[in-house]
Amino acid sequence: MQLSRQEAADLITKWFDEVTPVTALLVSADASLTVKLSGFINGFSTNILISDGTREKGNNPKNYILFPAEFVDSFHYTEARELPIRPEHLDLVTQKHDFSSLSLLYESGVRLSIFET
């Protein structure tokens, strides 16, 4: 189901406010590159920060990834099994293929899927 930018922002804000564990799966446009990171949404403005750290002042996460929010073409709330990614990549995220994710589709064709874990 396609979401508006505001609906996607509301969901990301909910995960941020509730300190919900998430897994992010970034897949390149040609699916030749896949990056997975588990952690929390620890920042949300013009960028989305997903890291394994906490929001405590002075705490620097060991692992993080920063995604720009302004280059997103569309937002989708989709069941994992419906994502156009290889099954082996999906298995890296979850064994539950009925899991849902928020997918951000970038202008470049890159897909960022965020799963609540």
Q: pLDDT of the chain along its 117 residues, tens only?
A: 899 999 999 999 999 999 999 989 898 999 888 888 889 999 888 999 999 877 777 777 888 889 998 899 999 987 766 766 667 666 666 655 456 789 999 999 999 989 888
What is the C-alpha to C-alpha distance for residues 62 and 6, in angstroms, rounded to an integer? 30
Cβ atoms of 3 and 98 within 8 Å: the answer is no
**pLDDT (0 to 100) of residue 92:** 63
**pLDDT (0 to 100) of residue 115:** 86
- CATH for 2-53+62-116? 2.30.29
